[in-house]
Chains A and B, each alone.
Chain A
Amino acid sequence: MVELTSMFSALAAQPMLAQAASGEGGFPWLTLTTFGPLLGILALMFIPRDQIEALRNTALLTTIGVFLVSLGIMVNFDPGVAAGAGEAFKFQLEHGPLEWIPALGIQYYVGVDGFSLWLVMLTTFLMPIAIWSTYSAVDKYVKEYMISLLFLQVGMIGALVSLDVFLFYIFWEVMLVPMYLIIGIWGGKDRVKAAIKFFLYTMLGSVLMLVAILYVYLQAGADSFLYTDLLAVELSYTEQFFLLAAFFLAFAIKVPLFPFHTWLPLAHVQAPTAGSVILAAVMLKLGTYGLIRYAFPLFPDALVVYAPYIALLAVIGIIYGALLALVQENVKKLVAYSSVSHLGFCVLGLIAMTPAGLAGGMYVMLAHGIATGGLFLCVGMLYERRHSKQIADFGGVSKVMPLFAAFFGIIMFGSAALPGLAGFVGEFLSLLGASQSHFLSFGEYLFYAPNGSETTIPLPERFAEVNPVDSVTWGPEMTAFIFTIGGTLGVFLGAAYLLWMFKRVMFGAIKHDAVREMPRLTVREIGVLLPIVIMIIFMGVYPKFFLSYMDPSMEAYLTYMDEQVTQAVESAEADEERAPIYGEVVVEPLDPEWVPEGSMWDRALDRVDE
């Protein structure tokens, strides 16, 4: 691995690339990655619709090309660049800002930091796999299908890299349309209903978000939608309360968090394989990404009050999703509900506001993207052979498809959080972060209590006299630990439903003759699954590679949130109109010695210098 990084860094030392990477006027990696798929769409338009192979290959080559370009982002991204004091984010490889709609101050401005970098990479990594997997699955309207997929990619990457909130919103909506078409046209039996439900659900949240964005914009008065400008807006607690509600709803639907999840199983079950893969692996991540990028830092005052409830929803989602997955008879639905459960870990980690939790949440996003994407691919391959997704229609598949069993098994265990595979690192860090959190204290508000109304819930005596040898008290720590227990229960249930499904599908005697005739994996299918399996193992064995890119960004983020939240708590206590926020709610007190560990990168560079 070190060799690989030094190879990359050697590449980075090339004069052209170095010049390209050097800030202003540098090579527009992000723009190229974002709009690269459009070139593919252009090419597809000129290919007659009956040349199916050519259409597929063009789309595949386009996405591979985009992936290669996106490697340039990774190479040129320097994790060592720290954010300045008081800055929440330090973006790199920016392109812009360019005037787009000057009258409203809307600009084209893109950039990445440690949070979005890996999500962009995840998207570009999975796109070719998803497209390659459709070679046997889709043979009607291939041209339109490929165009939809490529267009979807534009939307997803654009939403990840845009630094102008309005631009973000546009990309956010751009994503919807192709996905709507993918589900609605190439889906299963109930596809139209699923597509409409998906669209309406997401639309509902995002419209509210648009209103909130506009409100913040108008408050800013700076005639600019730039993210950093909106971040600087001072909002009162009451404003923040409702704005956060709007933002949170939009992202919670996308994630999806517990009561907003019902569109997901339907959409997943009906969507074609590639659609499910992209939906689960990337689109859901945009919800969690939106939470940390927009919802949390924009409204820190309100977040203090929201945090425990968000965590509660996450924990409920973890257990609830797992329980539902346990009783599903349909493999795809099972995997869909498992997404609800896994994304719960992600949100729990993010809201914990601890280094471990944040890292864990980010890592769950990546690991879930790879592992669940892989599971959907596996389910797709089973479906193509058996034309059924019912668990009862399988059994003993291992005997017929041994290699597939190995792949499926590794992906399954990767999803079930087995140490040494991808899923474990994220879920473990999330739970660890949650267990250390001081942020998840139920305040005196259950709901927004206007103007200092009396507390509604009596709370246990939190700060009882602390015994010299008894440091564990009933406080935010205990609340957080109870959340952790719930989450950990989810890890256990995760193993239960996945293993049970695996046993019923893959093991046992062969009950159906159709299973006996299922063909082995083709070379293409091996090629589809192999990168995923390799990534699952690599992500589990050497997570530092990924974490080292995120660490400086996380440090800046937590420092920023800590300042904001401290201010919020102080001002709340000074404000007699509002009931005080109870207890000592703090973002995990940062270790002053915390040196962001992008150091792996530095070391590789040093080696090159030597």
Chain B
Amino acid sequence: METLYADEFYFLGLIVLAPLLGAIINGLLGSRLPRKVVDWVACGAMAFSFVFALISLQGLVNHGANYDGEDGFGPHLTYTVYQWIFSGDLQADIAFLFDPLTAVMVLVITGVGLLIHIYSVGYMADDPDKWRYFTYLNLFVFAMLLLVLGQNMLVTFIGWEGVGLCSYLLIGFWYNDEQKAAAGQKAFIVNRVGDFFFILGMFIIFYTAGTWDYLELHQMATSTATVAQLLPIAFPAGLLIFLGCTGKSAQIPLYVWLPDAMAGPTPVSALIHAATMVTAGIFLLCRLNWLITLSPALMAIIAVTGALTAIVAASIAIVQNDIKRVLAYSTVSQLGFMFMAVGVGAFVAAIFHLMTHAFFKALLFLGAGSVIHGMHHEQDIRKMGGLRKLMPWTHATFAAATLAIAGVPLFAGFYSKDLVLWNSLANTHVLNVQGVIENIRAMLPEDRLQELEVLLTDEVAAAITDAGGEAVEVVTWALALNWGVYLVGLLTAGLTAFYMFRLYFLTFWGENRSDEETRAHIHESPGSMVGPLSVLGVLSVIGGYIGWPHFLARYFPEGLQPYVLGLEHWLADVFLVADQYRLVGRFGESPYLPEAISAGAAIAIAGAGIFLAYVMYIKRPELPGVIHERTTRLYDVLMNKYFVDEAYDFLFVKPTLWLGKASYWFDRYIIAGLLVGGVAFMTQNLGQVLSNLQSGNVQRYATYITVALVLIFIAIYFGVM
């Protein structure tokens, strides 16, 4: 295919346009259209979008083939739709940027989105408001595509809030249920807390850089001449944006909305709250990798937050009994993994895990949906069991996904999780800005100190690399950080394997524990639901084969080499700066042995988790009860999710309302009452005093006039006036 103009690649517009059109058609006419047409419009829009994404991908590959590195950003396609806002020096275009990173995201969104749309046709078959559902769903895809395709932060932000809106609408889809409406509202408002930080971060960036365009920002952050301007804001702006990401991607401290978000229809949970929307934060940080890597402290904060979230959510997931809640906490935990990867600078690993997670977590949710659908809206796993035989397709795909998430070799999750863990141990951040500056200051002669402003990031990094292993530990606590994060990650991996297999065994093995009537009606789901499950099942297995561990990759034949490390090569240009100049491996050039040991440890702990689950829920089903007896307190804490919701209610919601009430009191009694009322009161009383003068007695009036005249006369006579 001939490469279109790389800067006016209008297929990017079409990718976004298709779901928007779908949403408009269904939104305006959906209630009058036949249900079949609604299905076709929604799924057709997604299909078109997917096809356009594939075309764009081909275009990107073609463009990459003769890419000459003119602007240092790596191969990319752009398309400017129209100018949205301008005022003074702010020129905000609705413009799209398609680079390898975006390509991965767009393919995941449209591909998994298409599958979930097809699945929804079956899942929502009986719902009278199906057209509304598909409108929201298409609108969501539209917003999500805006988010990942945006060429500047403003477009990203539009998408960012747009997905929040759709999430709100879809969580509260069955709005007659007060609780579901409340869950939607909670999701939106918690997200808005994140957006609050995001906006402030954007303002700081604009104040300093004067632009939100990723291409320009990238140039600033990587050019030796201008990076010094961005250095001081890298930490505050990066931190604020990261806080924004914690809202959207459900990390500590803002993860509380995601478990509640399970109130929405299950396919929504799969699409929005597992595969796409919640990964927006990871995407954004990867997009801004050249900015956040400027601040090692920020990276450390991200890594620690991610690790903490991973383990906290995993520990909560162990005791949950609602099938969707287990998956929700599992999602939070896996997102924590991704943030961990971002924090240690393993951006490829983060995106890799994002992708495989999208496959297997979407599959898990869809499988759960299939189970719920089959069991007539029963979500409690204590009432399931033995579904292996009743729902064979669902079981097979669910098993594949469980194996994948548990990190069993040859399944997708293993590869990405292993990469994250290995990188968290091996990566070291070398761009300690303050340290580097001190170093240069010491090195430079007096008369060249002004060159400090020209911070040559690549030169510095190269110098440090050249110095060998010693120079790597610029930050003293880097080693402790890496080991801490790695061990927490490993532990989380074990917990993940355990709770996922607990879920799997309780749902599909053993005896069926539901009541007679339900059992009689348990059935396999229709083809429109099983089809997507199968596709995702295949992806959950082979999705990881584009990122083999290095120590294994070298055994593949020469011709396959580019493919077994495919993702790494594909994304190499995107993370060029971070990977080559700001992060180095702790273990040297080709650390195959440590890598193999790390992988072995991951496999071992996953195996341990699975084994433990097998013992507790298949071999000796009485064991959980015994453990429960012994650890009631701990169980309660976990069951109540560490009381975070209650704490937030007590710390933030209540005080805000109280403050509102206090302000209202202040408004009524102090401002309106005391101040305004006081003035009115004084005026009134003064008026009453003076009104006595007006007696109605004409003679008194005449007297006043006379007295006044006399006074005036006297005044004039004595020259007062």
Within 8 Å by CB, do A and B touch in the complex?
yes
Question: Could you list which residues of chain A lie within 8 angstroms of chain B, going by C-beta atoms?
Answer: 259, 262, 320, 323-324, 326-328, 354-356, 358-360, 396, 398-399, 413, 418-420, 424-425, 428-429, 431-432, 435-436, 467-472, 477, 481, 484-485, 488-489, 491-493, 495-496, 499-500, 503, 506-510, 542-544, 547, 551, 554, 588, 590-591, 594, 597
How many Å lie between the Cα of A475 and that of B90 in the bound state?
A: 23
Q: Cβ of B228 and Cβ of A469 under 8 Å apart?
A: yes
Q: Cβ of B88 and Cβ of A591 under 8 Å apart?
A: yes
How many Å lie between the Cα of A396 and that of B664 in the bound state?
A: 27
* Chain B residues within 8 Å of A396, by CB: 176
How many Å lie between the Cα of A236 and that of B229 in the bound state?
A: 42
Q: Cβ of B86 and Cβ of A544 under 8 Å apart?
A: yes
B191 and chain A: residue at smallest CB distance: A495
How many Å lie between the Cα of A358 and that of B87 in the bound state?
A: 9
Binary A-proximity of B370-390 (CB < 8 A = 1, otherwise 0): 000000000000000000000
A262 and chain B: residue at smallest CB distance: B672
Among candidates B200, B232, B453, B667, residue contacting A324 with C-beta atoms closer than 8 Å:
B667
Distance in angstroms from A334 CB to nearest chain B CB is 11
The 4 closest A-B pairs by CB, nearest first: A355-B88, A507-B181, A359-B87, A327-B660
Q: Cβ of A508 and Cβ of B207 under 8 Å apart?
A: no
Q: Cβ of B185 and Cβ of A262 under 8 Å apart?
A: no
Q: Cβ of B89 and Cβ of A355 under 8 Å apart?
A: yes
Q: Cβ of B656 and Cβ of A326 under 8 Å apart?
A: yes
A-B contact pairs, 6 of them (CB 8 A): A327-B661, A413-B165, A471-B232, A492-B192, A507-B172, A594-B89
Among candidates A262, A429, A469, residue contacting B85 with C-beta atoms closer than 8 Å:
A429
With an 8 A cutoff between CB atoms, is B215 at the interface? Answer: no
How many Å lie between the Cα of A388 and that of B228 in the bound state?
A: 61
Question: Could you list which residues of chain B lie within 8 angstroms of chain A, going by C-beta atoms?
Answer: 82-90, 157-158, 160-162, 165, 168, 172, 175-178, 181-182, 185, 188-189, 192-193, 195-196, 199-200, 203-204, 206-208, 228-229, 231-233, 236, 433, 437, 450, 452-453, 455, 656-657, 659-661, 663-664, 667, 671-672, 675-676
Q: Cβ of A435 and Cβ of B87 under 8 Å apart?
A: no
5 more CB-based (< 8 A) A-B contacts, given A324-B664, A547-B86? A323-B656, A323-B659, A435-B200, A506-B175, A594-B89
How many Å lie between the Cα of A500 and that of B193 in the bound state?
A: 15
* Chain A residues within 8 Å of B181, by CB: 503, 507-508
How many Å lie between the Cα of A326 and that of B203 in the bound state?
A: 27
Q: Cβ of A432 and Cβ of B90 under 8 Å apart?
A: yes
* Chain A residues within 8 Å of B675, by CB: 259
* Chain A residues within 8 Å of B207, by CB: 435-436, 477, 481
* Chain A residues within 8 Å of B88, by CB: 354-356, 359, 588, 590-591, 594
Distance in angstroms from B548 CB to nearest chain A CB is 41
How many Å lie between the Cα of A398 and that of B89 in the bound state?
A: 43
Name the residue in A477, A495, A542 with the highest tally of chain B Cβ atoms < 10 Å from its Cβ: A495
How many Å lie between the Cα of A139 and that of B89 in the bound state?
A: 52
Q: A419-B162, A499-B189, A547-B85 are in contact. Are A484 and B659 (CB under 8 A)?
A: no
Interface of B is mostly: helix
Among candidates B87, B90, B157, residue contacting A419 with C-beta atoms closer than 8 Å:
B157
Q: Cβ of A469 and Cβ of B231 under 8 Å apart?
A: yes
Q: Cβ of B86 and Cβ of A503 under 8 Å apart?
A: no
Among candidates A469, A484, A509, residue contacting B452 with C-beta atoms closer than 8 Å:
A469
* Chain A residues within 8 Å of B195, by CB: 491-492
* Chain A residues within 8 Å of B233, by CB: 472
Q: Cβ of A544 and Cβ of B85 under 8 Å apart?
A: yes
Distance in angstroms from A538 CB to nearest chain B CB is 13
* Chain A residues within 8 Å of B87, by CB: 355-356, 358-360, 429, 547, 551, 554
Q: A262-B672, A489-B196, A543-B84 are in contact. Are A499 and B188 (CB under 8 A)?
A: yes
Q: Cβ of A262 and Cβ of B664 under 8 Å apart?
A: no
* Chain B residues within 8 Å of A327, by CB: 657, 660-661, 663-664
How many Å lie between the Cα of A594 and that of B664 in the bound state?
A: 45
A436 and chain B: residue at smallest CB distance: B207
Among candidates B176, B192, B208, B452, residue contacting A507 with C-beta atoms closer than 8 Å:
B176
Q: Cβ of A324 and Cβ of B663 under 8 Å apart?
A: yes
How many Å lie between the Cα of A608 and that of B14 in the bound state?
A: 29
Q: Cβ of A507 and Cβ of B200 under 8 Å apart?
A: no
Among candidates A262, A419, A493, A588, residue contacting B158 with C-beta atoms closer than 8 Å:
A419
Q: Cβ of B175 and Cβ of A262 under 8 Å apart?
A: no
How many Å lie between the Cα of A431 and that of B196 in the bound state?
A: 11
Distance in angstroms from A235 CB to nearest chain B CB is 29
Distance in angstroms from B532 CB to nearest chain A CB is 30
Q: A262-B672, A469-B453 are in contact. Are A419 and B232 (CB under 8 A)?
A: no
Name the residue in B90, B185, B195, B199 with the highest tally of chain A Cβ atoms < 10 Å from its Cβ: B199
How many Å lie between the Cα of A493 and that of B84 in the bound state?
A: 26
Q: Cβ of B193 and Cβ of A320 under 8 Å apart?
A: no
How many Å lie between the Cα of A413 and that of B169 in the bound state?
A: 12
Q: Cβ of A508 and Cβ of B175 under 8 Å apart?
A: yes
Q: Cβ of A435 and Cβ of B203 under 8 Å apart?
A: yes
Name the residue in B158, B178, B450 with the highest tally of chain A Cβ atoms < 10 Å from its Cβ: B178
Q: Cβ of B185 and Cβ of A503 under 8 Å apart?
A: yes
Distance in angstroms from B582 CB to nearest chain A CB is 17
How many Å lie between the Cα of A359 and that of B91 in the bound state?
A: 13
Among candidates B82, B89, B667, residue contacting A591 with C-beta atoms closer than 8 Å:
B89
* Chain B residues within 8 Å of A469, by CB: 228, 231-232, 433, 437, 452-453, 455
How many Å lie between the Cα of A472 and that of B175 in the bound state?
A: 47
Q: Cβ of A495 and Cβ of B656 under 8 Å apart?
A: no
How many Å lie between the Cα of A404 and that of B671 in the bound state?
A: 37
A435 and chain B: residue at smallest CB distance: B203
How many Å lie between the Cα of A477 and that of B161 in the bound state?
A: 27
* Chain B residues within 8 Å of A506, by CB: 175
How many Å lie between the Cα of A176 and that of B195 in the bound state?
A: 41
Q: A324-B664, A508-B175 are in contact. Are A481 and B203 (CB under 8 A)?
A: yes
* Chain A residues within 8 Å of B204, by CB: 435, 481
Q: A472-B232, A492-B196, A551-B86 are in contact. Are A323 and B663 (CB under 8 A)?
A: yes
* Chain B residues within 8 Å of A354, by CB: 88
* Chain B residues within 8 Å of A326, by CB: 656-657, 660
Distance in angstroms from B635 CB to nearest chain A CB is 33
* Chain A residues within 8 Å of B196, by CB: 488-489, 491-492
Q: Cβ of A324 and Cβ of B185 under 8 Å apart?
A: no
A508 and chain B: residue at smallest CB distance: B178
How many Å lie between the Cα of A421 and that of B482 in the bound state?
A: 45
* Chain A residues within 8 Å of B188, by CB: 495, 499
How many Å lie between the Cα of A506 and that of B182 in the bound state?
A: 12
How many Å lie between the Cα of A6 and that of B452 in the bound state?
A: 54
* Chain A residues within 8 Å of B177, by CB: 508-509
Distance in angstroms from A284 CB to nearest chain B CB is 18
* Chain B residues within 8 Å of A418, by CB: 161-162, 165
* Chain A residues within 8 Å of B160, by CB: 419
Q: Cβ of B232 and Cβ of A544 under 8 Å apart?
A: no
B449 and chain A: residue at smallest CB distance: A468
Q: Cβ of A398 and Cβ of B175 under 8 Å apart?
A: yes
* Chain B residues within 8 Å of A542, by CB: 82, 84
* Chain A residues within 8 Å of B663, by CB: 320, 323-324, 327
* Chain B residues within 8 Å of A495, by CB: 188-189, 192
Distance in angstroms from B244 CB to nearest chain A CB is 11
How many Å lie between the Cα of A354 and that of B203 in the bound state?
A: 14
How many Å lie between the Cα of A265 and that of B343 in the bound state?
A: 49
Among candidates A481, A485, A489, A499, residue contacting B185 with C-beta atoms closer than 8 Å:
A499
How many Å lie between the Cα of A424 and that of B675 in the bound state?
A: 35
How many Å lie between the Cα of A484 and that of B206 in the bound state?
A: 13
* Chain B residues within 8 Å of A413, by CB: 165
Q: A356-B88, A432-B90, A491-B199 are in contact. Are A508 and B192 (CB under 8 A)?
A: no
Distance in angstroms from A494 CB to nearest chain B CB is 9
* Chain A residues within 8 Å of B89, by CB: 355, 591, 594
